[in-house]
Copies of this chain bind each other. A is one copy, B any other.
Amino acid sequence: MALFDTSVEISIGSYIVFRLEEQGVKSMFGVPGSFLANFLDIVEQSNITWVGECNELNAAYAADGYARFRGGLSVLATTVGVGELSAINGVAGSFAEELPVLHIVGQQKTKDQEAGVNVIHTLGDGKYDEFAKSALPYTCSQLLLSNADIALGNADEKIDKVIIDCISKSRPAYLAIPWDLVDVKIVTTRLNDKLSVEEIPIDTDAEQAAIEHIYRRFVDAFSGKVEDNVVVIADVSVRRHHCTTEAADFLSVTKLPVYGTPLGKTVVDETSERYGGIYVGDLSSPDVKEKVKAAKLVLFLGPLDTDFNTGNFTSNIEQKRSIKLHFDHTEVGFATYSRTGMKTLLPKLAQRLQEFVKKASQLEVPLFRNKAVVDTKDKLITHDWLWWRVGGWFREKDMIVTEAGSVSYGVLDLAMPKDSGLLAQKLWASIGWSMGATHGATLARREIDGASAPQTILFIGDGSLQMTVQELSSMIRSEIKPIIFVINNGGYTIERLQHSIDAEYHNIVTWDYGKLLKVLSKVNVASLTQTYRVTKETELGELLDTGKLRDNGCLQLVEIIVGRDDAPPALRRALHIDKLGNNNESMKRAPLQRLIGW
């Protein structure tokens, strides 16, 4: 029986909040502003917690992190113009990395919009839809509510559509609400049914044909010698499209050797004996490179070709020996099967490949384990030591967040613990992102796993921290307790190593990071935050070993001093820097040409 009949009406603001609660949204990120307040009144009375941020870009990053961890809808709310444009870079990142972030924008009154007058937060040209246009490349769906929607009685349907698009396409969407429409009443009959979020349309005949085609390729591959027949490369789209369980089950059943990728770190269990490390083209370790090169068949799960993910496009695995499982289509050699997707295909494929399990389990996989390092007294910390040391300290279920820049390369060589997660924005790579993302992801985890969820561990460079430093204040306000490792190298080291290593423009001002947390929150409970500064191996080692950082019950910041030009080994390999700075070609500076008489 329908709960709501046609006689029951509800305000548009309440209708939207109803749908968001229905989708499990428990936190909403943003900054209040002139035209958002009446919608926020409604949010504050709902079961959704308003997470007020210091600025809109940080809010967008937090919404991104919230969507990343929960694997579902996330909501960003800002005022029009000034607010939404401040957030747009964060929204673009969520688009690039396929995250369902709904951007709600509080707009000026419809009468002002219709009259085209110059009210606050406009361009002075009477236009009110320019900002939505700017967001077009980064949103999969847009709704600018208007009086016409009220008159036509389809505001409910349109609101549902923009939310459904956001979730089903897993991309940001845009929903603008003029101030005076927030309280307008609409019917509630659609609320009798939960939003129907479309699955990928699957054609089971096409799926069956794809599976048979793959099976025949496996028959061929296993017809000769046992070694080097098939390898699996598990990539980032497995996680983006929520197929990690299916991928894990597939690998568990088939026993195939599996490799990761830079973007696909932690998509599969890296402690498994069948896992051999990451494949990243010419930058792969020699044994991994050899295995992939020799394989007759390479089965890609959710591949994404980017410069970072392919060793700057050096992967070059021939299409004829490739099988690529995507979320919405399948490629077997040169054949494409549309209306198929890995979520439903993987379990069936595992069954079909049963006969190869024994042979597959005999395929050799290079041993991939973390290097043990010791702490040398009075030795300054270097990246060569740092990452192995913290890698050995990671635990199962840890959520590690890495900022873009040099730290994103730090974890590439590590075997990550079982059930750990790695959050990183590696294609869009907007520095400063990880501060907001840590906040949002940690809140999402707290909602799911409760207050005793393992701590989030963030690695960030000093240049990135300065971009979005006020997020520390917002994290303290939310009472979350991540461990934040700040790699202090005095500037933008990844840029230095790519071009003009000594240029002044790579440098930043040194801050007193040790006092940051106290200054950004004048709370009287001294134990709410803790800060450390380490320069030597034994200093960090002791901090890690004493267990002080773990479950300390507060937000902690650990400043780690490293050399200006030092970098994680994976970054040095990527930039072909054998010794630090020994890369003359890319270090060459562009000269200014002065003309006579200038």
On whether the beta carbons of A54 and B518 are closer than 8 Å, the reply is no
Beta-carbon contact of B37 and A500 below 8 Å: yes
State the CA gap A554–B534 with chains docked (Å). 32
Contact of A305 among B118, B188, B520 (CB under 8 A): B118
With contacts A14-B593, A81-B92, A137-B123 known, is A503 near B118, CB below 8 A?
Answer: no
**Chain A 106-143 interface 0/1 with B at a Cβ cutoff of 8 Å (1 = within):** 00000000000111111110010011011111100000
Query: Which of A332-340, A343-351, A382-390, A491-499 participates in binding chain B?
Result: A491-499
B118 touches A306 (CB 8 A): yes
Contact indicator B41/A500 (Cβ below 8 Å): yes
Chain B residue contacts of A43, Cβ below 8 A: 592
A32 x B492 contact (CB < 8 A): yes
Q: Which of A44-52, A244-252, A268-276, A453-461 lies at the interface with chain B? A: A44-52
Q: Which of B37, B138, B520 contacts A509 (CB 8 A)?
A: B520
The residue from B92, B504, B510 contacting A85, defined by CB atoms under 8 A apart:
B92
Contacts of A134 in B (CB 8 A): 88, 133-137
Complexed CA–CA distance, A191 and B593 (Å): 13
Contact digits for A371-393, partner B, Cβ 8 Å, 1 yes 0 no: 00000000000000000000000
On chain B, the residues within 8 Å of A150 by CB distance are none
Q: Is A430 an interface residue (CB 8 A)?
A: yes
Chain B residues with CB under 8 A of A598 = 18, 21
Interface locus among A199-207, A222-230, A462-470, A540-548: A462-470
0/1 per residue, A279-310, Cβ < 8 Å to B? Answer: 00000000000000000000000001111100
Partner of A432, one of B55, B89, B92, B508: B55
Bound-state CA distance A200–B474 (Å) is 49
Q: How far is the CB of A425 from chain B (nearest CB, A)?
A: 9
Does A144 sit within 8 A of B, measured CB to CB?
Answer: no
User: Cβ of A82 and Cβ of B430 under 8 Å apart?
Assistant: yes
Nearest B-chain residue to A119, judged by Cβ: B307
A 15-55 to B, binary, CB cutoff 8 A, 1 in contact else 0: 00110010000000000111001111111111000101011
Instruction: Check if A428 is an interface residue, CB within 8 A of chain B.
Output: yes
**A86 contact set on B, CB distance < 8 A:** 57, 89, 430
Chain B CB count within 10 A is highest, among A117, A136, A304, A470, for A470
A590 at the B interface (CB under 8 A):
yes
Within A482-521, the residues touching B (CB, 8 Å) are 492, 495, 498-500, 503-512, 515-516, 518-521
Partner of A44, one of B42, B46, B55, B504: B504
* Cβ A595 vs Cβ B305 within 8 A: no
Minimum CB–CB distance from A14 to chain B (whole Å) comes to 4
Interface centre among A39, A429, A521 (most CB of B within 10 A): A429
A360 within 8 A of B: no
Q: Which of B499, B503, B519 is within 8 Å of A515, CB to CB?
A: B519
A503 and B37 contacting across the interface, CB-CB below 8 Å: yes
- The docked-state distance in angstroms from the alpha carbon of A594 to that of B54 is 30
With both beta carbons as reference points, the residue of chain B lying nearest to A82 in the complex is identified as B430
In contact, A37 and B495 (Cβ under 8 angstroms): yes
A358 within 8 A of B: no
The residues of B that contact A40 with a CB separation of less than 8 Å are: 500, 503, 505
A509–B476 contact, CB under 8 A? yes
Size range of the interface on A?
35 or more
Question: Is the Cβ of A92 less than 8 Å from the Cβ of B590?
Answer: no
- Cβ of A304 to closest chain B Cβ, rounded Å: 7
Q: How far is the CA of A52 from the CA of B508 in the complex (A)?
A: 8
Q: A41-B591, A509-B477, A595-B188 are in contact. Are A304 and B503 (CB under 8 A)?
A: no
Contacts known (A37-B503, A121-B429, A138-B123); A32 close to B495, Cβ less than 8 A: yes
Q: A511-538: contact bitstring with B at CB < 8 Å (1 yes, 0 no)?
A: 1100110111110000000000000000
| A322 vs chain B, min Cβ distance (A) | 17
Stretch touching chain B among A4-12, A394-402, A409-417, A560-568 = A4-12
CB contact between A511 and one of B97, B131, B467, B519 (< 8 Å): that residue: B519
Complex Cα gap A133–B136 (Å)? 9
- Interface residue A221 (Cβ < 8 Å from any Cβ of B): no
Contact B52 A505 (CB under 8 A): yes
- The interface residues of chain B lying within 8 Å CB-to-CB of A498 are 34, 37
List residues of chain B with CB within 8 A of the CB of A470.
Answer: 466-467, 469-470
| Residues on B with beta carbons closer than 8 Å to the beta carbon of A520 | 509, 511-512
The interface residues of chain B lying within 8 Å CB-to-CB of A428 are 81-82, 121, 123
A450 within 8 A of B: no
* Contact present for A304 and B124 (CB under 8 Å): yes
Evaluate contact between B44 and A503: CB separation under 8 angstroms: yes
In angstroms, Cα B500 to Cα A42, docked, is 11
Contacts of A305 in B (CB 8 A): 117-118
Report A350-370 CB contacts with B as 1/0, cut-off 8 Å. Answer: 000000000000000000000
Interface centre among A21, A44, A188 (most CB of B within 10 A): A44
Minimum-distance CB pairs A-B, first 6: A85-B89, A45-B592, A130-B137, A82-B430, A38-B590, A41-B590
Residues of A near any B CB (own CB < 8 A): 3-4, 8, 10-11, 13-14, 17-18, 21, 32-34, 37-46, 50, 52, 54-55, 57, 81-82, 85-86, 88-89, 92-93, 95-97, 117-124, 127, 130-131, 133-138, 182-183, 188, 191, 304-308, 313, 427-432, 466-470, 473-474, 476-477, 492, 495, 498-500, 503-512, 515-516, 518-522, 589-598
Subset of 6 A-B contacts with CB under 8 Å: A43-B592, A54-B466, A82-B92, A82-B429, A118-B307, A473-B511
